[in-house]
Amino acid sequence: MSHFINVILPLPLEKHFTYSVSPAEADFLQVGMRVAVPFGKSKIYTGIISKIHQQAPEIYEAKPIEQILDEKPIVTATQLKFWEWIASYYMCAEGEVLRAAIPSAFLLESETVVQLYKKIEIEERALTDDEFLLFEALQRQSSMKIQEIIQLLDKKTVLPVINSLVEKRVVVVNQEIYEQYKPKLERYVQLHSSYSGEARMHELLDNLDRAPRQREVVLTLFSLSARTKKPIKVSELAKEAKTTTATIKSLIDKNVLEEFHLQTQRVQYEERKLAGEIELNEFQEQTFSEVEQAFESESVCLLHGVTSSGKTEIYIKLIEKVIAEGKQVLFLLPEIALTAQLISRLQNYFGEQVMVYHSKYSVNERVEVYQNILNNSEKAKIVVGVRSSIFLPFQKLGLIVVDEEHESTFKQYDPAPRYNARDASVVLGNLHSSNVLLGTATPAIESYFNAEHHKYKLVNLNRRFGNVLLPKIEVVDIKEKHRKKRMMGHFSDRLQEEITETLKNGEQVILFQNRRGFSPILECNTCGHSPQCPNCDVSLTFHNHNNQLRCHYCGYHMALQKKCMKCGSPELTTKGFGTEQVETELKALFPEHKIGRMDLDTTRGKHGYEKIIAAFEAKEIDILVGTQMLTKGLDFRNVRLVGIMNADTLLNFPDFRAHERSFQLMLQVAGRAGRTKEQGLVLIQTYNPHHRIVQQVSTNSYVEMYEEQTEERRQYKYPPYYRLIRITLKSRDYSRVNEGADWLAKGLKQAFQENVLGPEFPPVARIRNEYYKNILIKIPQKQSISKTKKVMERIFTSFKAIGGFRSIKLVINVDPY
């Protein structure tokens, strides 16, 4: 009797491949283990066993495997089912899902590069002879390929050796390095707490009569604090009081002053370290029990809670219950860098039980996290991560929280699988019989629709924590302001007034402009030409700080030209404006205040985000200008005013979700204002003050927005009423992409008639010298999705069989976002 295994290879193949194994191997092997197998002419890949059986493949002869890599499965049966669903729903290969799903260190293959783990201390005795040989070789040369290692060890089966060294943390493969951010500790001083109260202060000053230097320092500290209303750095005080840090130190030693660090300021949650110390207020308590009740009848619950209502605290209480039952929790976030605040809140509360999974972690760290979860370790009870963490090997998932569920970052664009982690988590929850909680202040229309149609339960929380009122939202008509000459650059008189007022009270300002750069477009007054990217069909964006024109799609850049490149005229004007210009204008308007900018350009460097966020929290920045990065659930304590520089660019974006998105963005950024004490203020500058969305934002009318938008979507056949599948054809050859798209659209129209739109060039039709053309398929609710996909696949197969079209790339995006 011959034995075979089916293997999923990390390649875009339609099927699993069958290999032959010996009876003894068949006996040892289990589904979910890794094997190294030959594929193609001379390549070796690591694959996952999906089935063990006795049926020889019909059309090819099964090759034997090279090597068994595991002693027990590293992929669970549930994961395999999940992969199958992802591949079939998002129309890609299971091999592509596999690549996205497990750390690349698990997938040794011919191309793998092996390096020594930095700063290791090795117990040489713990290594086998082969391992030691490789370890030694890697000390002489910085990296080695598998082929070189095969030569070195003089044997074919080297993957187990490497595997074992990865596990022993001696080597890394395909390394990228990520170091966790540690904010710099700044020393601050304040008057010692024993000197509160006027009497004690006079006493202190009298005492210091004979130490004029020290007295001077104390007085300077008073005046500095009164003037800046900010914590005072030791260095700042030394400078202002014209003294040395030694003098300040002596005052600290005498308990006149006390020092503290930025770090202790940042973590305000310390006092709630111990479990059970969070006290929900009555509204949170109510919400908490409604969510629990919801889970009794339905496994998915949408928590619609206004910004700063304390959703995190409710999550924490729910999580606590689930882990007490011995189950695991997955906490999905739209982004890690911007949500460091939330992660430290979870870590402060749950300590060691929280594990963060990050795509920027080094490959080894990812292996460690993966294995901890697989073993249901105490260290991985709560897994916090971005979208890809839905692929981790959970054993007993009890709850999935999707925070800020409306965020588009839950959708993967490239490469396949193009999944939406929010939607996929509902399926994952189902596979584990786990509950799923979607939380947000601005639900995605799809999610709210599902709640309205009783697929999800809906729970509302309308109060901010601490009974702070939601910010007051005021619309500023800038058309009118321009007419009345009340604009300074892009700042209305209202906005300037309120900024002045806010700064005067020592509070902070956030300004939102959803475009980076100085002014997006440079235009010639004489001939109307604006400089274009040579590789993409877009105008270049002007960046003032380095006098460059840049392409935001491919990174192409050139020096700013003084004259029009077409007609030579020196009269160039700028159109539109970005964050950089807002910053420049602000510096002129408020020269004595610190201004920070947060966008892709300023956060690119290592820990860019964290630095800016920490500086803003420490009040080293008074006004923070930024793009939509500012909207991501940040919890700042001292922001009174939020200004939206221009609502119109958001509203006019050519996409059926533009209105929904504008609403979400504006309401989220508004939610950064006035989170602690008094009510905050939001100013929305717009040329269209009567736009429905602007009105709905200003009155916080989510349901009204939802009803109007869904009505439009119904009329024009968009989600949630219709499902969309977008097919993008890409080629460097312009006429080929046109021909291919026409052929494909014709075939699809025969099958789906008027529910096929296009082919059509997208707004940016050429990127990095590839031409793009889209076809959109709309699937009515009644039409079977799986049948639709089968028909599509048949058409794709005929398409690929046509010689001239073989070079065209087909990208299929189910539920594009």
- Which residues are annotated binding-site positions? 524, 527, 533, 536, 551, 554, 564, 567
Residue 122 interacts with, from Zn ion, ligand ADP, none (CB under 5-8 Å by kind): none
Tokens 């004490």, residue located: 677
Evaluate whether 44 touches 30 at the Cβ level (below 8 Å). Answer: no
Pairing status of strand 435-440 against strand 623-626: unpaired
Nearer to ligand ADP, 218 or 342 (CB): 342
- Residue 554 contact partner, candidates Zn ion, ligand ADP, none, CB within 5 to 8 A by sort of partner: Zn ion
Nearer to ligand ADP, 109 or 635 (CB): 635
* Least distance between ligand ADP and beta carbon 461 (Å): 8
Give the contacts of 484 (CB within 8 A, at least 6 positions apart).
none
Euclidean distance between CA atoms 305 and 315, whole angstroms: 12
CB-based contacts of 728, cutoff 8 Å, min separation 6: 762, 772, 773, 774, 810, 811, 813
Q: Measured from the CB atom, is 527 or 802 closer to Zn ion?
A: 527
Amino acid sitting at position 790: K
Q: Which is nearer to Zn ion, 766 or 789 (CB)?
A: 766
Which of 256, 551, 666, 705 is close enough to bind Zn ion by CB under 5 A?
A: 551
Interface pattern 224-263 for ligand ADP (x via CB under 6 A): ----------------------------------------
Is 703 a binding residue for Zn ion by CB under 5 A? The answer is no
> 567 contacts which partner out of ligand ADP, Zn ion, none, CB within 5 to 8 A by kind?
Zn ion
Among 280, 431, 558, 560, interactor with ligand ADP by CB under 6 A: 280
Residue 541 C-beta: closest distance to Zn ion, Å: 10
The residues, any chain, with a CB within 8 Å of residue 22's CB and separated by 6 or more, are: 3
CA distances from 696 to 667, 689, 711 (A): 10, 11, 16
Which tokens sit at 15?
């099927």
Reduced to 3 states (helix: H, G, I; strand: E, B; else coil), residue 531 is coil
Residues annotated within a binding site for Zn(2+): 524, 527, 533, 536, 551, 554, 564, 567
Measured from the CB atom, the residue of 356 and 564 that comes closer to Zn ion is: 564
Within residues 556-595, the interface with Zn ion by CB under 5 A covers 556, 564, 566-567, 569
**50-69 mask for ligand ADP (x: CB under 6 A)?**
--------------------
Distances (CA, A) of 549 to 420, 557, 623, 661: 34, 5, 26, 28
Does 278 engage in binding with ligand ADP (CB under 6 A)? yes
* CB nearer to Zn ion: pick between 553 and 653: 553
Query: Starting at the edge strand that comes first in sequence, how are the strands of the sheet with 300-305 ordered?
Result: 354-357, 382-385, 328-332, 397-403, 435-440, 300-305, 457-461
* Piece of 272-280, 576-584, 743-751, 795-803 that binds ligand ADP (CB under 6 A): 272-280
Interactions with ligand ADP, residue window 634-663 (CB under 6 A): 635
Partner from ligand ADP, Zn ion, none binding residue 37, C-beta < 5-8 Å depending on class: none
Q: Which two tokens stand for residue 450?
A: 């599902």
Nearest to 659 by CA among 711, 623, 609: 711
Smallest separation, CB 586 to Zn ion (Å): 29
Strand order in the sheet with 34-39: 63-64, 17-21, 3-8, 43-53, 34-39, 67-68
CB of 619 to ligand ADP, least distance (A): 16
Min dist CB 565 to ligand ADP, Å, is 48
The b-or-e profile of 262-276 (16+ CB within 10 A means b, else e) is beebbeebeebeeee
If the CB atoms of residues 357 and 465 are measured against ligand ADP, the closer one turns out to be 465
DSSP 160-218: HHHHHHHHTTSEEES--------PPPPEEEEE-GGG-SHHHHHHHHHHGGG-HHHHHHH
Q: Is 524 in the site for Zn ion (CB under 5 A)?
A: yes
Selected binder of ligand ADP within 58, 121, 123, 279 (CB under 6 A): 279
Read off the DSSP letter of residue 420: B
Q: Within positions 172 to 201, which residues make up the interface with ligand ADP, using CB under 6 A?
A: none
Tell me the angle at which helices 340-350 and 608-617 cross, rounded to the nearest 10 degrees. 80
**Whole-number minimum distance, CB 772 to Zn ion, in Å?**
13
Name residues whose C-beta falls within 8 Å of residue 216's C-beta, 6 or more positions apart in sequence.
241, 243
* Closest CB to ligand ADP among residues 312, 347: 312
Can residue 421 be called a binding residue for Zn ion (CB under 5 A)?
no
**Smaller CB distance to ligand ADP: residue 39 or 636?**
636
Q: Which of 78, 190, 250, 281 binds ligand ADP (CB under 6 A)?
A: 281
Report the residue from 526, 688, 695, 738 that binds Zn ion according to the rule CB under 5 A.
Answer: 526
Cβ-based neighbours of 574, under 8 Å, separated by 6 or more: 518, 519, 521, 522, 523, 542
Considering only residues 87, 476, 533, 683, which one is a binding residue for Zn ion as defined by CB under 5 A?
533
Site for ligand ADP in 438-477 (CB under 6 A): 465
Cβ-based nearer residue to ligand ADP, 311 or 778:
311
**Local structure of 813: helix, strand or coil:** strand
φ/ψ of residue 604, rounded to 5: -65, -40
Q: Which does 578 bind (CB under 5 to 8 A by kind): ligand ADP, Zn ion, none?
A: none
- Indicate which of ligand ADP, Zn ion, none lies near residue 566 (CB less than 5 to 8 Å, by partner kind): Zn ion
CA separation, residue 776 to residues 744, 745, 761, 796 (Å):
11, 9, 11, 14
CA distances from 500 to 380, 475, 647, 679 (A): 48, 18, 22, 17
Give the x-and-dash track for 606-635 against ligand ADP (CB under 6 A). Answer: -----------------------------x
Q: Which member of 18, 112, 220, 284 binds ligand ADP (CB under 6 A)? A: 284
* Binding partner selected for residue 523 from Zn ion, ligand ADP, none, CB under the kind-specific 5 to 8 Å limit: none
556 binds, among Zn ion, ligand ADP, none (CB under 5 to 8 A by kind): Zn ion
Q: Which of 230, 529, 594, 717 binds Zn ion (CB under 5 A)?
A: 529
Cis peptide before 570 (omega within 30 of 0): no
353 binds, among Zn ion, ligand ADP, none (CB under 5 to 8 A by kind): none
Total number of residues shown for the chain? 817
State the minimum distance, in angstroms, from the CB of residue 561 to Zn ion: 11
CA gap 429, 431 in Å, rounded: 5
Number of residues that bind Zn ion (CB under 5 A): 15
Query: Using CA atoms in the order 530, 535, 537, 538, what is the torsion angle rounded to 10 degrees?
Result: -50
**Binding residues among 298-327 for ligand ADP as defined by CB under 6 A:** 305, 307-313
405 or 523: CB nearest ligand ADP: 405
CB 413 within 8 A of CB 393: no
| Cα separation, 572 vs 564, whole angstroms | 7
Tell me the Cα Rg of the chain. Answer: 30
Residues of the shown chain interacting with ligand ADP in the complex, contacts defined by CB under 6 A = 278-281, 284, 305, 307-313, 465, 635
Residues of the shown chain interacting with Zn ion in the complex, contacts defined by CB under 5 A = 524, 526-527, 529, 533, 535-536, 551, 553-554, 556, 564, 566-567, 569
